[in-house]
Amino acid sequence: MRYSFLSLLKNGLTGQAGWKPAWRDAAPKPAYDVIIVGGGGHGLATAFYLASEHGIRNIAVIEKGHIGSGNAGRNTTIIRSNYLLPGNEPFYEWSMKLWEGLEQALNYNAMVSQRGILNLYHSDAQRDAYARRGNAMRLAGADSELLDREGVRAMYPFLDFDNARFPIQGGLAQRRGGTARHDAVVWGYARAADQLGVDIVQNCEVTGFISEGDAIVGVETSRGAIRAKKVGLAVAGSSSRVAKQAGLRLPMESHVLQAFVSEGLKPVVDGVITFGAGHFYISQSDKGGLVFGGDIDGYNSYAQRGNLPVVEDVAESGMALMPRIGRLRLLRMWGGIMDMSMDGSPIIDRTPRPGLYLNSGWCYGGFKATPASGWCFAHLLATDAPHATGTAFKLDRFRTGHLIDEKGVGAQPNLH
Amino acid sequence: MRIPCPYCGARDASEFAYLGDATLTRPDPAAPDAADAFHDYVYLRDNPAGAHSEWWYHSGGCRRWLKVTRDTTSHAIAGAELAGGAK
Amino acid sequence: MSRLPSSGLVDRTRPLNFSFDGKNYRGFAGDTLASALLANQVRLVGRSFKYHRPRGILTAGPEEPNALVELRSGARREPNTRATVAELYDGLDATSQNRWPSLALDALSLNGLVAPFLGAGFYYKTFMWPASFWEKLYEPVIRRAAGLGRAAEGEDPDHYEKANAFCDVLVIGAGPAGLMAALAAGRAGARVILADEDFLAGGRLNSDVARIGDEPGPAFAARTVAELASLPNVRIMTRTSVFGVYDGEYGAVERVSDHLATPAPFQPRQLLWKITAKRAILCAGATERPIVFGGNDRPGVMLAGAARSYANRYGVAVGKSVAFFANNDSAWTSAFDLKAAGVNVTTLIDIRREVAPVLAARAKALGIDARTDTQVTGTTGQPIGGGLTGLAIRTAGHGGRIAADTLAMSGGWSPSVHLTCHHGGKPVWRDDIAAFVPGGIPPGMTVAGAARGTYGLGDILAEGARQGGEAAGDLGFAASLPALPPTEETPAGITAFWHVQGSKGPAFVDQQNDVTAKDLGIAFKEGFRAVELMKRYTTLGMATDQGRTSNVNGLAIMAELTGASIMETGTTIFRPPYTPVSLGVLGGHHRGKDFRPTRLTPTHAWAAERGAVFIETGPWLRAQYFPKAGEADWLTTVNREVKAVRASVGLIDVSTFGKIDLQGPDVGAFLDRVYINTFSTLAVGKARYGVMLREDGIVMDDGTTARLGPEHYVMTTTTANAAKVYQHLEFCLQVLWPELDVTLASVSEQWAQIAIAGPRSREVLARVVDAGVDVSNEGLPFMGAVERTVMGGVKARLFRLSFSGELGYEIAVPARQGEALARALMAAGEEFGITPYGIEALGVMRIEKGHVSGNELSGQTSAGDLGFGKMASTKKDYIGRVLAARPGIADPERPCLIGFKPVDPSQRLRAGAHFLKLGAPADMAHDEGYMTSVAHSPHLGHWIGLGLLKNGPQRIGERVRAYDPVRGNDFEVEVCSPGFIDPNGERLRG
Amino acid sequence: MTSALDALPVTQMPPDGHYGPAGKHGVTARIFDPPALATLAARHGAGAALSAAARVELGLDLADAPRLSRANGLTAIGTGPGRWFLLAEAPEDLPAHLAALAPHAAITEQTDAMVGFELSGPHVRDLLAKGVTVDLDPSVFPPGAAATSNVAHINTSFWREPGDERFVFLAGRSYAVAFARFLVASGAAFGLELVHRG
């Protein structure tokens, strides 16, 4: 069923009785052309683009819980393409372009909202680093603006300009950045993929792989064996666990990242602001809650919950940046398990096991990548060649030394 | 999360710096396969869900590296010992 | 006034004035804003989130979804404050929110008219046509209409603090179970903290007033609290919400001053407690559930237990004509209590066919019309404000009407299991009490009383006492259980019931977010059936009340739709915080200038006295430059400082560098393993520049290390990496090579270090060293490092080093002598016009010399990239050697350090500009590197730069494009040697 | 942002005087420069020899634990395995005094590295609770107990003096003003007397 003004009117007049499930709750078939493991945003987007761009429709997305129950529903909803390095920036800019047409592509309002993102700088060295980044963005065809202190003040006069420990000197703005409604992205991709014939199989956990020699030819699951010509993993923080079942050790650690939302308020923050003198980023949802976050807790974890020191650090940074938020209340905090790669950048590549493909290493930036991640992974699965914007995301780059280390902190995932 | 430092006693994890997997051994740099061995050492991780042996540096306390055994699913800490034994 | 003549715990001798929406009222000490409003017959208090429906007061506690106000005003405005927990104080000023122009007449209540079109998921299906209208039109309108209260209008004027507490037993909740638990553990001698979010300890004892022994509940509570207060090992913390269970600690907020108009001087508004407890006993009680039926959200519809609290604790009649609607016995007791307190209770409606005879008899005796097998199917209300006027009921299929201005409802009680879930525990459904009880409980915690589903008062007291005693006993305290007095027991029967089928009008499940039973039906039809999906699709339970009154009803209704049991359906996950927590208190006093500590150099006061402009450098404040009167801008000053150094002599405090003493027989061997170059061969009395890598082959840090004795070296690190390098060295020593006999000591704080540079620096140095100290070129040659005395016996370390490229020295003296040294050097150099300079001039001079610094040590550059390739020893292993040989790191095509100057010398270079070949398109494929550092060279009279350029060293003389669109620059620069001044180092060695 | 701190710049030591409500005297903080201070770090495998030498040469019992030992005008404070701060009562050349230990330990002059804060008064533990993450209850942290820990983002070593409620903190000299600000921010509510000693 297409969503249209007419369908809304009709259902409004008939007591909302005519709606159908947004996607079928499919049972697994014995075999598919492609199985995507992981029913988060990346997995569902992959299935959608495989079906819509490559004409492969005999696909299952299998998910151990319900779709969107992992990081897709636990992030701070920020979209942006303000990366630095040539391995990353064209990919994220492609993602941004896909965001810009997403709702029409999916016939689903994911509330993609380009109200801008502003990264603040507090020193000359940081300004230079942001200039380098802003110029790199321009080279990749993205938009960027370097603002001085007064430029920032004009956008957000309520930031602490007068008494700050690390005075705001300016910011790098990307006006096309913003937010999207994270759950709606999941639901939109699921619904659109389903309409193209993709089976979305929930409560179906991978317990092993079916091999023929070196090759992977399917998965064992809690709902039985399912064969496939190709299996793609898009399981974020569970990557190491699932890959281990195929005998692979990954350049990856799983870490917990906390996120926070405040009580609903009348509009305070229009776009996304990130603090440059601490770990803090904030935006305001359309419902009115301030959505914010900070650094990962910094230790390996699969527990989907973090601890107070990071909560305090986030609040200290928030108060240092915006001292008017002191009386606002934190409503909910939660944790997601991040697939922290060893250089802080993702992997979209074939694996040493023929038939098994990997999409992982999103660190805590996976949400914004959702469309391009799906696009590039679909391209790889369909053609066995990397998409032009994702050629650097190789699994063997750690062996060859072609690292994509945006932060320059080296092989220490908790610092990326 | 409070880490039982063998010297200082239980301390909040925030006064430690985390390094990660403590089961790894720096390979022999003179070995013929050193390039591969160092790749594995520096980049590959078991990343287990469950018991994890990991390095924490007590930067805010005794400045010793501790080998901590912690469950990554519950954060429960089974124990901690000083690296290299006490001097 | 609807204040009852005698009942209640408010202090009628202490009247308090307050205002709501500009109108003045009076209440008493001990009131909440809600009880005081009800006492003044104010029943319309707020507007709902989506449809802006008029709402009153539903509860008497933190679970309140409706009665949210803006408390205080201006910079102290606190939006979304629950009137039901806001403690009344004299002068309290509250305003209703989410309405315009007024609470009674709200324009956006028209949303209600289009409600049939605005069901669950509406937003996801529309606003897509045309695409560009979302940000321009739809979203701004939605954003303005959404939200609830307004944020404060300026910087929070109050301050906040944090504190740590430690105890044996933390008791959460000071109701009957908590009081007994604390008493048992406290009497045994355990260190006990008893925390309760209320301002009055006692919990339901203060609302239910059942007798314990020979005294009423409130008296029992007060007496027990008094005993606890007398125990030195017990700390009672009221107004303190334990909001989260973390690993090994509990987070709690003490609202120190929220019951005052403004905090007392020097007192925080709130305090964040981080409590480390060996055991915790959760005694958080239970929360009553509404029943879902058409029109259940009108002002005047409230929870039965709340009506009872208002009568018993606050002495307030919630209405003139009160009916009850329930599926359980507790509501009957509530009705009897109201009646006993003098409230006009007319009718008791119960969905059950039969109730305990004792209840029926008592209702009859009190003259209450009890109707069993009856449901409320709708409500009627006033045209303005919507206040309840009557009920439509259905008894065994037959309709009827009842007049009432208040309906007290009860769907049963939900144990407050929240904190038990913070480690991922899943509550378990119990059919017999129609409620979830704790499932997996965090380590160290037990649960007692109603929070565990124990509802009989005697059982609650016994359970609390037992668990308190056991906790103390586990910890080695000899516990004897407190005597358990006899209690007045009331029936607690219940028949699970969630919503009235076929009722009229929207039947609200989540009153704040306006989620109706019908919305759950839409979610079901569209496949959003898993509880988390249902919650997210409908927004059920996501409002500021965190779904306390709506979650169970919502999932029970979904269970009915799917045909699954409630246990199979499961519950949503409770995460911290238990109640919303202000961001201010989580930040504590670390805001403004105290966000992070400020580190001051030993010469800070001296530099300030000389008019230095300071700059934040990580945690440090350093002198950036020293302007003189009449200098037009910073560049004029910096040019002067640089010229003065190169022409004569200048000085700068370099104490911020990390300084590490290394002692032991193996230091040389150790340094050989951590630096790419060799230090074991360094002669005593000499220093050497070193570069260290990370194990992945990328440069970690650089600096000079000097050998002061056969087994004694001192290393300097960059300011930024001091802690990181120390940690790395300790890792190498403790983990990698424990066999090496080397000890480290950070001496960064011990030594003030001042650099003097310039052709006259030796003469200046000669005047501050003590007699007999030879600082001649022979006595202290280039890269010499010696321990001597200065200024008359002050121990000093003298290094002949230079970052500026001039003849230069660094002099380290004990930190307290740093300022004296600066003054002595100034005096000694007076005749040469010695000039203090800041880090800007330092930066200019190091760029003129082509030295790398933080901008080049980006964590992305290899030794080869920075021109250190030849320094790397091939005769030894060192950290990073193996992986630096990887093709991607060793690639000669990588951007390498080189110098740049503008083709047009008037052009200003900018760091961050990217390099493109002349004529190449400006795109990523043609990006050849970027400018890392720039400076205006007063010596050359134009800007110069360092940068990383593909094959840079092979391209000297070539012109490339410096592309800097973010600053509107795009011009040609010439690649040149990075040594702009004295490339052969003659000045250094002179 | 604390009312007691509002007028005080982060670049100057808060002046001596009373902070907080008039008439309230909860805590006294005496700021002092250590007369002489050094770190002592046992050489590889020389822990036992060092202890013996300390006992023989200085009469000092070097406990390898976060504890205080004091003898003959010297106080040793355990800061890590095989590591101590040695604090002298009067100014002296500590490395020279400790020369007898040099074969067994690295001795590093630190007299100027730290600033001392001696805290006493009925509310001293209430103040310290606002920054110290170690349990200071006498049953856990009795007189003579010592710890090295971060306090309000500042690394400190501290111990409890024998006798009354008295604690001594050592903070890095560059952090001295920041640590004093923590004391003022956290102590003003109880009434804080700040004095410089010697």
Q: Is there a contact between C727 and B59 if contact means CB atoms under 8 Å apart?
A: yes
3-state secondary structure of C179: helix
Q: Indicate whether A262 and A325 sit together in one domain.
A: yes
Q: Which amino acid is at D47?
A: G
Q: Is there a contact between C816 and D137 if contact means CB atoms under 8 Å apart?
A: no
Q: Is there a contact between B61 and D149 if contact means CB atoms under 8 Å apart?
A: yes
Final residue of a structural domain among A341, A373, A392: A341
Final residue of a structural domain among A341, A357, A374: A341
pLDDT at C115 over 90: no
pLDDT at B87 over 50: no
CB C288 within 8 A of CB C412: yes
Residues C435 and A24: their CA atoms lie apart, in Å, by 32
Phi, psi for residue A138 in degrees, rounded to 5? -65, -40
Q: How far is C568 from chain A (nearest CA, A)?
A: 13
- Both tokens of residue C961? 């494009």
Residue A223 maps to a domain: yes
**How sure is the predictor about B86, in pLDDT bands with cuts at 50, 70 and 90?**
very low
Q: Is there a contact between C147 and A264 if contact means CB atoms under 8 Å apart?
A: yes
CB A61 within 8 A of CB A377: no
DSSP 8-state assignment for residue C773 = -
- Both tokens of residue C883? 């992986």
- Which of B7, B12, B16, B81 to probe the D interface (max D CBs under 10 A)? B7
**How sure is the predictor about C114, in pLDDT bands with cuts at 50, 70 and 90?**
confident
Digit-coded pLDDT (tens) for B50-67: 999 999 999 999 999 999
Residue A19 maps to a domain: no
Residues C816 and C165: their CA atoms lie apart, in Å, by 37
Q: Indicate whether A124 and A67 sit together in one domain.
A: no
From C615, C643, C638, select the one nearest C626 (Cα to Cα). Answer: C638
Chain B residues close to A400, C-beta within 8 Å: none
- CATH for A320: 3.30.9.10
CB D128 within 8 A of CB D156: no
pLDDT at B26 over 60: yes
Residue A2 maps to a domain: no
Would you give the distance in Å from CA A245 to the centre of its chain? 25
Residue B87 maps to a domain: no
For chain C, domains (ranges, CATH) are 12-154 (3.10.20.440), 160-286+416-474 (3.50.50.60), 298-411 (3.50.50.60), 498-564 (1.10.10.1100), 599-656+750-845 (3.30.1360.120), 658-746 (3.30.70.1400), 890-989 (2.40.30.110)
Digit-coded pLDDT (tens) for C281-328: 999 999 999 999 999 999 999 999 999 999 999 999 999 999 999 999
Residues C689 and C677: their CA atoms lie apart, in Å, by 9
Q: Quick count: other Cβ atoms within 10 Å of Cβ C739?
A: 9
Looking at the structure of chain A, the number of domains it has is: 2
Burial class (CB in 10 A: 0-12, 13-18, 19+), A102: buried
Q: How far is A258 from chain D (nearest CA, A)?
A: 21
Q: How far is C949 from chain B (nearest CA, A)?
A: 28
Q: Which chains touch A (3 or more CB pairs under 8 A)?
A: B, C, D
Residues C605 and C625: their CA atoms lie apart, in Å, by 14
Q: Indicate whether A173 and A203 sit together in one domain.
A: no
CB A279 within 8 A of CB A295: yes
Chain A residues close to D1, C-beta within 8 Å: 163, 323
Residues A167 and A157: their CA atoms lie apart, in Å, by 14
Residues C86 and C799: their CA atoms lie apart, in Å, by 66
Nearest CA in chain B to A312: B14
Burial class (CB in 10 A: 0-12, 13-18, 19+), C398: exposed
pLDDT at C408 over 50: yes
- Both tokens of residue B23? 């089961």
Quick one: average pLDDT of C800-825? 96
Looking at the structure of chain B, the number of domains it has is: 1
B4 touches chain D (CB under 8 A): no
Digit-coded pLDDT (tens) for C483-535: 999 998 889 999 999 999 999 999 999 999 999 999 999 999 999 999 999 99
* Residues pairing with C811 in the sheet: C754, C798
Continuous segment of H or E residues that includes residue D160: strand D154-160
Residues D146 and D66: their CA atoms lie apart, in Å, by 5
What angle is formed at CA C611 by the lines to CA C609 and CA C616, rounded to 5 degrees?
100
- CATH for B39: 3.30.2270.10
Q: Could you identify the residue written with the tokens 């991607």?
A: C888
CB C562 within 8 A of CB A57: no
pLDDT of residue A355: 98
Residues C284 and C195: their CA atoms lie apart, in Å, by 10
Instruction: Using only the alpha carbons of chain A, give its radius of gyration.
Output: 21
Q: Indicate whether A147 and A278 sit together in one domain.
A: yes
Phi, psi for residue A112 in degrees, rounded to 5? -65, 120
CB C923 within 8 A of CB A141: yes
Q: Which residues of C409-442 are buried (b: 16+ CB within 10 A; e: fewer)?
A: bbbbbbbbbbbbbbbebbbebeeebbbbbbeebb
Residues C697 and C878: their CA atoms lie apart, in Å, by 10
Burial class (CB in 10 A: 0-12, 13-18, 19+), B68: buried
Digit-coded pLDDT (tens) for C41-55: 999 999 998 899 999
Domain region containing A157: 117-177+254-341
Mean pLDDT, chain C, rounded, equals 95
Residues C420 and C446: their CA atoms lie apart, in Å, by 9
Chain B residues close to C249, C-beta within 8 Å: 2, 12
Chain C residues close to A135, C-beta within 8 Å: 912-914, 930, 963-966
Quick one: average pLDDT of C140-152? 88
3-state secondary structure of A284: strand
ipTM: 0.97
Q: Indicate whether A126 and A259 sit together in one domain.
A: yes
pLDDT of residue C104: 87
Q: How far is C124 from chain A (nearest CA, A)?
A: 4
pLDDT of residue D163: 79
Residue A270 maps to a domain: yes
The answer, yes or no, to whether the previous bond of D14 is cis (omega within 30 of 0) is: no
Q: Indicate whether A335 and A348 sit together in one domain.
A: no
B61 touches chain D (CB under 8 A): yes
pLDDT of residue C6: 79
pLDDT of residue C380: 97
Domain region containing B77: 2-82
pLDDT of residue C1: 67
Q: Is there a contact between C883 and B55 if contact means CB atoms under 8 Å apart?
A: no
Q: Is there a contact between B86 and D150 if contact means CB atoms under 8 Å apart?
A: no
Q: Please report, for residues A342, B75, C734, the alpha-carbon distance to residue B52 in angstroms, rounded to integers and kept in the order given.
A: 18, 10, 20
Phi, psi for residue C604 in degrees, rounded to 5? -55, -50
Which residues of A222-360 form beta strands (DSSP E)?
224-233, 252-264, 272-274, 281-284, 289-300, 329-341, 347-350, 356-360
Digit-coded pLDDT (tens) for C633-660: 999 999 999 999 999 999 999 999 999 9
Q: Is there a contact between B13 and A307 if contact means CB atoms under 8 Å apart?
A: yes
* Residues pairing with C916 in the sheet: C927, C961
D1 touches chain A (CB under 8 A): yes
**How sure is the predictor about D1, in pLDDT bands with cuts at 50, 70 and 90?**
very low
Residues C314 and C38: their CA atoms lie apart, in Å, by 10
CB pairs under 8 A between A and D: 3
Final residue of a structural domain among A299, A324, A341: A341
Q: What is the dihedral of CA C859, C863, C864, C867, to 10 degrees?
A: 110
Q: Which amino acid is at C811?
A: I
Residue A124 maps to a domain: yes
Digit-coded pLDDT (tens) for C872-904: 999 999 999 999 999 999 998 999 999 999 999
Nearest beta carbon to residue A327 from set C156, C594, C923? C156
CB pairs under 8 A between A and B: 66
| Per-residue 3-state assignment (H helix, E strand, C coil) for B7-57 | CCEEEEHHHCEEEEECCCCCCCCCCCCHHHHHHHHHHCECCCCCEEEEEEE
Residue B76 maps to a domain: yes
Q: Indicate whether A258 and A334 sit together in one domain.
A: yes
User: How many Cα atoms sit within 13 Å of A344 on the Cβ side?
Assistant: 20
Q: Indicate whether A102 and A192 sit together in one domain.
A: yes
Nearest CA in chain B to A399: B39
| DSSP codes of every residue in C677-719 | S--TTPPTTEEEEEEEE-TTSBEEEEEEEEEEETTEEEEEE-T
Q: Indicate whether A205 and A215 sit together in one domain.
A: yes
- What residues contact C145, with CB distance under 8 A and at least 6 apart? C108, C111
pLDDT at A103 over 90: yes
Question: Is the pTM above the cut of 0.90?
Answer: yes
From C865, C969, C950, C914, select the one nearest A140 (Cα to Cα). Answer: C914
Q: How far is D160 from chain C (nearest CA, A)?
A: 17
Q: Please report, for residues A60, A200, A221, C40, C799, the alpha-carbon distance to residue A54 in angstroms, rounded to integers and kept in the order given.
A: 15, 18, 26, 69, 68
For chain D, domains (ranges, CATH) are 17-33+113-197 (3.30.1360.120), 36-109 (3.30.70)
- Both tokens of residue C733? 């020593």
Phi, psi for residue C846 in degrees, rounded to 5? -75, -30
Region of B75 please: left (phi>0), alpha (psi -120 to 50) or beta.
Answer: left
3-state secondary structure of A128: helix
pLDDT at C571 over 80: yes
Residues A260 and A278: their CA atoms lie apart, in Å, by 16
Q: Indicate whether A172 and A187 sit together in one domain.
A: no
CB C714 within 8 A of CB C706: yes
